Structures are given as structure tokens and as C-alpha cells.
Structure 1
Amino acid sequence: MKKILITIFVFIITFGIFSSSYVQSNILNVLIKSGIENNQIFPEEDALSVLVCGSGSPLGTAVAQTCLLVKAGDKKYVVDIGNGSVNNLMTWSSDLLEDINGVLITHLHSDHIADLGDLNLVTWVTRDRKQQLEVFGPEGINDVVSGYNLAFSRDSNFRYLHHGNQIADPLTGGMTAKEIEDGSVIFEDDNLKISAFKVFHEPIEPALGYKFEYKDRVLVISGDTRYDSELIKSFKGADVLFCEVISPDIVDRFIKVAEQQNDAKLKKILVDILDYHISPLDAVDLANEAGVRHLVYYHLTPTLPTEIRFLSDKFFFAGVDEAIENWTASTDGTMVVLPSNSKEILISEIN
């Protein structure tokens, strides 16, 4: 009986404290502060690092669509910018979007460009951007960037009229497009080289992958592609290969459900996507042939809820453990760090 009375007393005291407006106000202040704090995400050490800001696909859940943020020394590049990825970056730390040197688009599917307008806005108005945002991509990127600039032109003007030059300088607003071809060198200095290579995503042509060479470390990003042995030469020498992936097993399960529901349109889409993405084991074959040291799967198709990944990954990546030793199935918040002058590959989750 005494224990019950003590428990009731503690509950009443606790309830009384938390029902106090003063206490509630202070709790709210702490929550607001934590929501806008600029947390240190990337390591301070000199490295080539990648943060997965979107690991999903158009067929999926609340997981953000394709996006990688690459940091090489003091330079930062966004590779693809699918729906939900900007929200991830802003949630983790708005400093992640400070001093973005450029955006690299692999191809012009909507799930790779959907957040481009938001990325332009937040790097312009909330960050101290010194010039227009440069967007690199394959043939057609000029149309995409021009379209976004036009769609956001009134919004940009309203923000200038409201906040003035100090916040929304028209000279640094908007984006500029830089069309590139496979084999192009996008950037090169004494420490960093970024180049593009052809991938195979027919009928979407051209489609590109990207290679980052920073000091003695090498990162390769596949973009969307089917299997082709030509990719081996582009993947060679990579410490880490980020390779998109589709699970024929999981897609087949979706197809069966579509058939049961007489959803002919969904079934057609699911059947079609099987021939222009790469399976987990085909990605392993390419990685092994190219001598890749660590394979990271991203852009998982279909994207299943994070809550069931402990179960679905067993079937999605069946056979991978037996075929390759060093691999990771990424999710939003996966971070890979390649310290310079080292062979280390550090993998963590920021969520």
C-alpha cells in the first residue's frame, strides 16, 4: 500500500511540474533550439565523404528519393536531388547546404530532379550563396533548369521584395545549367577530379555516372543503369562504389499483388522497370571484376518501409553475403568516410 501511495504522489508531482506553463515554455524553447541547431555531420579530418540524403525510388514510402551529398576536402557536390532529400538535409543540419559547389544530375527522371527547386531556394535564401547554383547534367539539363527558373521566378521576386538584397540578392538567385557528355571532366584541381561516364538506362539517354578522385581516394556513383560489362572500366580503382539496385524478387511480389488487384497499369510499370536497373548480384559481379573495395547499394527499388527492412533485406539482398565480403545496404542517413592518406572505409548512420 505504501508503494502505491508513493507512486501516486510522484505521479501527481510530475504531472504538476509538467503542467506548469513555465516548464512547458522552457521545454518548447529547448525543442525549437534543437530543431535549428547546426550539428557537425561531416568529420573534421581531411577526407572524401558521402552522405546518403535519399536512398529510395519512385516506388516506395516516406524514404527520400535519390540523393547523395559528396564532400571532398572543402568542396561539396550534390549528386541527384529527389523528392524529400532537401528536407532530410535541412533536418540533419542546415550547414550541410552551406557552400554547395554544384549539383550533378545523372539523368532526367523526376525522382532525380524533383527537389531541385527547393535546393536552389534554401541555398540562396537561408545560406550565404555567392553565385547562382550550377547544375551539371546530360543533354536536356538546360530545359530542366530553365523550367525551374521560370516556375520559381515569381517566388524569387516576392522574396527579394520582402527580404531585400541582403537575404535574396537577385544576382545570386536562380540556377545555371552546364550540359556535359560521358567522358567529360567536370572539375579538376591539384586534389580533386570529377568526371562523368556513360551508363545504360535505355530508353533514357544519355544517362551518366560520376567518379570522384580526391587525393588518394576514389568514389564511384553508378547512377541508374542495367548490367553491362562496359561499366567495369568505369568502376575500376574505386574504394567505394555506390550502385543503384533493383530486387527482381521483391518486384515479382509486387507484380503478383497487382495481378490480384487487377491493376494492369501498375503491373505494366513493374514489368517495365526490371530491364533497366541492376540486380544485387549483377552489381556484385561488376564490383568484383572492377576490384571495388566496398559496395554500397543505394536507390533501392522498390523502396520498402524502414520498419520492415530487418525482414525485407533478407530477400532483397539474398545471396550477396556469399558473393562479396564488404557491402552495405544504405538508408537515409548512411555516411561513408574515406580519410585521405589512408585505406580506411568508415561507415556510420547519422539518424
Structure 2
Amino acid sequence: MRSFRKLAFVCAFLSALVPGAALAQDFKVTLLGTGSPPPVMNRFGPSILVEAGDKKFLFDAGRGAMQRLVQTKTRWQDVDGVFFTHLHSDHVIGFPDVWLTGWLVAPGRNRPLEVWGPPGTEKMLSHLVQAFEFDIGFRISDDKARPEGVVINAHNIDPGVVYEQNGVKITAIKVDHAPVEPAYGYRIDYNGRSVVLSGDTRTSDNLIRAAERVDLLVHEVVSPETFSRAGVNLERTKSVIAHHVTPEQAGEIFARTKPKLAVYSHIVLPTATNDDLISGTRKTYDGPLEVGEDLMVIEVGKDVVVRRSSSPKQ
């Protein structure tokens, strides 16, 4: 009993000393990038860091993922692997930076990088290794970078449980981002808590079933108003909206799944305002809702706590 009280005191002391500090049992989600293809400074490309126990995983690696990792003070050599939702360029274009810079810059990665994704992932990454063949050889011979750290272990995966270790279970969910086939969302379970990341999708019954009453549902969204403000022609606007979920549709999804907290990420277009997104959502959903922003941290435990970053985003 005395030892238990001492441990409880130490945990309370550490939490008070460093507000929001992650202890070993925390389940923490950090939105590294909440944007979409347009290059803007406040919303980098889609990427989410999930920390469960002693495991750290990236879900997608869009533009600027490496810089955002640095801003969160996450040691890139501690990232245990990367999961791709699908192979659209805005979701993978930051991967070479995570892979190569995370290997090269001391203290660099000293173990292979595990990568999971839909069919096509292995082929894409094998070509990426070929593309950087000259640089890799040079770094190993002249910079003495450890050769095992540049190895990619790529895994093409099917829907279902794709990772289960140390109490962390990750399930790939087939979603509807046609004509991209397949595209995945992911459910992460740890310590009795659950998080679902939608990836890019239309309204998906598979996702709705997987996300029922989860602690946290991070969902993509498209704002039609942003296209008219940007002067995008009607044909292109309709094409993009057809592959995503509007705020009203997202509200219907949240109303059906009833998460403890719903959060928007992968915001299309990234110039969307909170009012663009929230007003439409409230037509169909009146529960807990946050518009995600880069470097937002969501701590998932008995309560779901949102911490907005005060760090500069440019």
C-alpha cells in the first residue's frame, strides 16, 4: 500500500510539474498536419502521431510531417512505424523526409522503419529506395550512417487487425474513397480506450460500425464554401466534394457513432473557417466537436482532453 501511494504521488507530482506530460500509460493523439493538397503555412499535409504506451506511430506523412515532429519534441528515431491510409500524394509526400532525415541526422534511426499500407505500398517504397540509391550509398560510405537505419520493411495490408503488440491493437478499416481502391481508416485500441481515424472517405458504413461510441473520432471534411471563395470552377468543385464528406454529412456520422469527442482533420480546402465547418455540422449533430489544428494534442483517458498548441505554426 505504501509503495502504491508513493507511485501515485510521483505520477501526480510529474503531472503538476509538466502540465499535459505523457506518462507511460497515456494514449495521446497529436495532429501534426490537418491540411490537404494546397500548400498553406498553418495547415501542413495530413499526418497524425498516435502514442499508446511505449509505442509511437505516424498515420500518413504529408507535407511537413518531419518539421511538426520536431516541434512536438518527438525523437524521430523513436517512431515505431508509419501507416498509410492510401497513396494519394498529399498523404505520402512527407515520407521521404521522415525516412531519410530521420536516419541521417544524429542521433539517427538505427533500426529498420516499418511501414504498413494498402496494396501498392511495397511497390511505391521499393521505387523510392531506388530513387535515393545514390544518396543512401554516399551517406553510408562518407557520413558513416548506420545501414540498418535506412531499411524500409514495407507491408501491404488487407482490412482487419494489422498490428497487435504490447497491448496496442491497430485495425485497418476499408472506407469509400472511390475511385481510389482500397483506402483505409484505422482504429487503434489500447488500455480500454479507442481512437478511429477516418482517412479520406465518403460516408462509410464500415467506418461507422468501427467507430461506434469510441473515445475519439478524427474525421476528414470538405467545405463547399471554400471552393467558391477560391474561384474554383463548378466541375472541379463537384468532383472533389464527391470524394469527401461535407459538414452536414459528417454530423450525421457523428450522430450515429456518438464518440466522446469528434475532431475534424484533413480539412478541404485548408482555408476553411471554423464557422464554415461547425455551422453545417450543427444541423445534424449537437455533441462534442473540435475543429482540428496543427499541433493539437488530444489525450485519451477517462476523459478526453484537448490541448491547443501555443507554438508558432509558420
Which TM-score band applies after superposition, normalised by the shorter structure?
Answer: 0.7 to 0.9
* 1:336 partnered with 2:298: yes
* 1:217 partnered with 2:193: yes
Shift of 1:60: 4.7
Quote the Cα distance in structure 2 between the aligned partners of 1:186 and 1:129.
23
Q: In the alignment, is the contact (CA less than 8 A) between 2:223 and 2:246 conserved in 1? A: yes
Q: Which residue of 2 aligns with 1:117?
A: 96
Aligned residues: 290
Quote the Cα distance in structure 1 between the aligned partners of 2:72 and 2:47.
14
1:160–1:60 distance in 2 versus 1, CA, 3 Å: closer
Q: In the alignment, is the contact (CA less than 8 A) between 2:224 and 2:241 conserved in 1? A: yes
1:289–1:258 distance in 2 versus 1, CA, 3 Å: closer
Matching residue within 148, 156, 178 for 1:171: 148
Residues 191-244 of structure 1: per-residue CA shift (max 9 Å, x gap): 211110100000000000101000111000000000133431121231000101
Shift of 1:134: 1.0
Of Structure 1 and Structure 2, the greater helix share is in 1
Instruction: State how 1:82-93 maps to structure 2 within 5 Å.
Output: 82-93=62-73
* 1:286 partnered with 2:253: yes
Percent identity between matched residues is 30
| Structure 2, unaligned runs of 5 or more | 1-17
Residues 5-24 of structure 1: per-residue CA shift (max 9 Å, x gap): xxxxxxxxxxxxxxxxxxxx
Quote the Cα distance in structure 1 between the aligned partners of 2:194 and 2:232.
42
1:297–1:137 distance in 2 versus 1, CA, 3 Å: same
Shift of 1:100: 1.2
Q: Which residue of 1 aligns with 2:274?
A: 313
Give the SS at the match of 1:336: strand
Give the SS at the match of 1:57: coil
Matching residue within 229, 240, 244 for 2:216: 240
| Structure 1, unaligned runs of 5 or more | 1-38, 260-266
1:188–1:215 distance in 2 versus 1, CA, 3 Å: same
Structure 1 segments (4+ residues) deviating >3 Å: 39-42
Letter in structure 2 aligned against 1:55: T
1:41–1:269 distance in 2 versus 1, CA, 3 Å: farther
Q: In the alignment, is the contact (CA less than 8 A) between 2:173 and 2:206 conserved in 1? A: no
Instruction: State how 1:1-351 maps to structure 2 within 5 Å.
Output: 43-44=22-23, 46-62=25-41, 63-93=43-73, 95-126=74-105, 127-164=107-144, 168-183=145-160, 185-189=161-165, 191-254=167-230, 257-259=231-233, 268-304=235-271, 312-321=273-282, 323-339=285-301, 343-350=302-309, 351=311
* Greater gyration radius: 1
Give the SS at the match of 2:265: strand
Quote the Cα distance in structure 2 between the aligned partners of 1:52 and 1:207.
20
Shift of 1:268: 4.0
Quote the Cα distance in structure 2 between the aligned partners of 1:45 and 1:345.
17
What TM-score results when the alignment is normalised by the length of structure 2? 0.86
What TM-score results when the alignment is normalised by the length of structure 1? 0.78
Give the SS at the match of 1:43: coil
